[in-house]
A and B are shown apart, each in its own frame.
Chain A
Amino acid sequence: AQSVTQLGSHVSVSEGALVLLRCNYSSSVPPYLFWYVQYPNQGLQLLLKYTTGATLVKGINGFEAEFKKSETSFHLTKPSAHMSDAAEYFCAVTHSGNTPLVFGKGTRLSVIA
């Protein structure tokens, strides 16, 4: 069975500081990995995904993530936080294109002016 662990249910950073949201996964087969963002009272928006190929994935809004198989991690980073980045972020895993996503519990990101 697959699972996702997001370390830290709440992360707070200053505006302009590095954003690092941690995600570790468990999968017995090569994973597909995703990061989604959810703003209040909204659905999920895809930030980026890894399926195959380059392990450093660039997404929207300046976010990127690196797939590290040896560490079973897929941490999300952004060099400089903006106030508009305040939201909840979800990491998800699946092992193929037609099986359900398994989500982590989410990390709420606060950005302090």
Chain B
Amino acid sequence: KAGVTQTPRYLIKTRGQQVTLSCSPISGHRSVSWYQQTPGQGLQFLFEYFSETQRNKGNFPGRFSGRQFSNSRSEMNVSTLELGDSALYLCASSSQADQWNTEAFFGQGTRLTVV
């Protein structure tokens, strides 16, 4: 069974550009959560989708957005990139709405560097 797949693995963008990151959950999983990991702030929650609906949202500016498709694949978009957006972006997928009571799996992440 394939794990959580995040693409691309590495990305370099220029300040002011926008970027889209993709997360393909494990087959059959309907919940996808996104986290940002930086050395200074650690792991911070961005948003979570379940069955194409955003169920939770973290404390990030509106430049950060996401969506989930009918096949459960999820994308997150960051517009007007800033140097501080450089981070490892992780997604986690789970089969159930009760994601942490069931098994949730993290992908390897997308390393975004903004220059």
Report if A100-B56 is in contact (Cβ < 8 Å); known contacts: A90-B43, A105-B42: yes
Q: Mark A92-113, 1 if CB is under 8 A from B, else 0.
A: 1010111111111110000000
**In the complex, which range does the number of interface residues on chain B fall in?**
20 to 34
Give A49 to B42 CA distance when docked, in angstroms.
20
User: B98 contacts which chain A residues (CB < 8 A)?
Assistant: 96-98
Give A46 to B94 CA distance when docked, in angstroms.
13
Interface residues of B in 18-76 (CB under 8 A from A): 33, 35, 42-45, 48, 50, 55-56, 58
User: B45 contacts which chain A residues (CB < 8 A)?
Assistant: 100-102
B99 touches A98 (CB 8 A): yes
Report if A106-B100 is in contact (Cβ < 8 Å); known contacts: A43-B4, A43-B107: no
User: B104 contacts which chain A residues (CB < 8 A)?
Assistant: 46
Q: Which of B96, B100, B107 makes the CB contact (< 8 A) with A101?
A: B100
**In the complex, which range does the number of interface residues on chain A fall in?**
20 to 34
A42 within 8 A of B: yes
B100 touches A97 (CB 8 A): yes
Give the number of residue pairs across the A-B interface with Cβ within 8 Å.
Answer: 65
B108 within 8 A of A: yes
A32 touches B4 (CB 8 A): no
User: B4 contacts which chain A residues (CB < 8 A)?
Assistant: 43
* Distance in Å: Cβ of B56 to nearest Cβ of chain A: 5
Q: Which of B6, B48, B109 makes the CB contact (< 8 A) with A100?
A: B48
B100 touches A32 (CB 8 A): yes
B100 touches A43 (CB 8 A): no
Give A43 to B23 CA distance when docked, in angstroms.
13
* Interface residues, chain A, with chain B CB atoms under 8 Å away: 32, 34, 36, 41-46, 49, 51, 90, 92, 94, 96-106
Taking A46-B104, A100-B48, A101-B100 as known contacts, 19 extra A-B pairs with beta carbons closer than 8 A to each other, sorted by chain A number, are A32-B100, A41-B108, A41-B111, A42-B108, A43-B106, A43-B109, A44-B92, A45-B106, A46-B103, A96-B100, A97-B98, A98-B55, A98-B56, A99-B56, A101-B43, A103-B35, A103-B43, A104-B42, A105-B42
* 27 A-B contact pairs sorted by A residue (CB < 8 Å): A34-B100, A42-B109, A43-B6, A43-B106, A43-B109, A44-B106, A46-B103, A46-B104, A51-B100, A51-B101, A90-B43, A96-B100, A97-B97, A97-B99, A97-B102, A98-B48, A98-B50, A98-B98, A99-B56, A100-B45, A100-B56, A101-B33, A103-B35, A103-B42, A103-B44, A104-B42, A106-B42
